[in-house]
Structure 1
Amino acid sequence: MDVKALDLGEDNSLLLVDDDEPFLKRLAKAMEKRGFSVETAGSVVAGKAISTARPPAYAVIDLRLEDGNGLDVVETLRERRPDSRIVVLTGYGAIATAVAAVKIGATDYLSKPADANDIINALLQTGDELPPPPENPMSADRVRWEHIQRIYELCDRNVSETARRLNMHRRTLQRILAKRSPK
């Protein structure tokens, strides 16, 4: 696939924050090919330090990092540079938190795995027009699994309370939680 550089304007600075090093390196390389000036961070502490010292025009921040919550980086960046375009990446069971990220200042959020094109579409989206539908939307099984994970997290990972709220047998819920997420 031929990758062309985008017209990003005067400030093409991009901060990538993720603790998955192979993913971080691949994404940084893909974004550099598209014309971004990329800085990477593997932790909340490093992300906040870069956001404070050199607040970028664009940021892609993982929600769950080994040393804390990516929302802390979003807040720091939003304070230092209110016009920054921020996309939050979220893994399993964290869509409710991603919505919270949008409320505190993220431009958008994407479920992992997200490719460079999906991320660029979210970063460069302007106005109220809706972004194009994803090339690979979540399956119905995945949407169900995400919903169950969200309720489970909101119930402080209490299986009995989650089962009650979902009107589901506790053993059935335990079997679902023990399985890997569907594609």
Structure 2
Amino acid sequence: MTEDAERLLIIDDDEQFCFVMARAMRRRGFEVTTATTEEEALASVRQAPPHMATLDLKLEHSSGLKLLPELLALAPDCRVVVLTGYSSIATAVEAIKLGAVNYLCKPADADEILASLERDTGDPDIDIADSPPSINRVTWEHIQKVLQEHDGNISATARALGMHRRTLQRKLQKRPVRH
């Protein structure tokens, strides 16, 4: 590892993902640190501000969207990509508004993540879907939007959607449906 190697912080509550991604990024010349909790991430940033970071949207006891502003306050030049297995338009928009440079759906490999960290401009040639999203996908997106409006509060979101809290919790535990 050279002294001028770029520091990359991987923040994800999945320890196996952290291990695999850290190994892949080290092979690409990065100095890598991992964190599985919000506290570990903030301590790591205070000790050695990273040049780049990947941030899981759904941490075990927190939200990557809540951690993102704190991370950027401590390391304003850090380029952050938000990764998630629970993608929605609402969270993608908020991640970008809060300072992320990109938002990727899992599974994403090291090359995709690296490309998204290094890209400075949008891609006007990105593929546009041939058909509108399914009703199940639209429902998922709407739930995510209302959840975001209520700062992740399940009870308030359930009231706003007119459904029982447990029903909403069951829906949120399922993976989002594809388009």
State if a TM-score over 0.5 links the two structures.
yes
Runs (5+) with no aligned partner, structure 2: 151-155
Query: Which residue in the other structure is 1:130 paired with?
Result: 123
For residues 13-70 of structure 1, the C-alpha deviation after alignment (integer angstroms, 9 at most, x for no partner) is: 0000000111111111111111111000000110011112211000001111112122
Q: Which amino acid aligns with 2:14?
A: D
**Alignment CA distance shift 1:162-1:60 (3 Å):** farther
Aligned partners of 1:18, 1:26: CA distance in 2, in Å?
12
Q: Which amino acid aligns with 1:161?
A: L
Aligned partners of 2:161, 2:66: CA distance in 1, in Å?
29
Query: What's the % identity of the aligned pairs?
Result: 36
Deviating 4+ runs (over 6 angstroms): none
Matched, 1:24 2:18: yes
Aligned partners of 2:15, 2:125: CA distance in 1, in Å?
29
Instruction: Give yes or no for contact 2:5–2:29 (8 Å, CA) kept in 1.
Output: no
Runs (5+) with no aligned partner, structure 1: 1-8, 164-172
Instruction: Give yes or no for contact 1:86–1:107 (8 Å, CA) kept in 2.
Output: yes
Matched, 1:54 2:48: yes
* Number of corresponding residues: 160
The TM-score normalised by the length of structure 1 is 0.71
Aligned partners of 1:105, 1:145: CA distance in 2, in Å?
27
CA RMSD of aligned residues (A): 3.2
**Alignment CA distance shift 1:69-1:177 (3 Å):** closer
Offset of residue 86 of structure 1: 0.6
Query: Which residue in the other structure is 2:9 paired with?
Result: 15
The TM-score normalised by the length of structure 2 is 0.72
Offset of residue 159 of structure 1: 7.8
Instruction: Give yes or no for contact 1:121–1:131 (8 Å, CA) kept in 2.
Output: no
Aligned partners of 2:55, 2:82: CA distance in 1, in Å?
5
**Alignment CA distance shift 1:73-1:150 (3 Å):** closer
Q: Which amino acid aligns with 2:37?
A: S
Aligned partners of 2:102, 2:78: CA distance in 1, in Å?
12
Aligned partners of 1:162, 1:113: CA distance in 2, in Å?
33
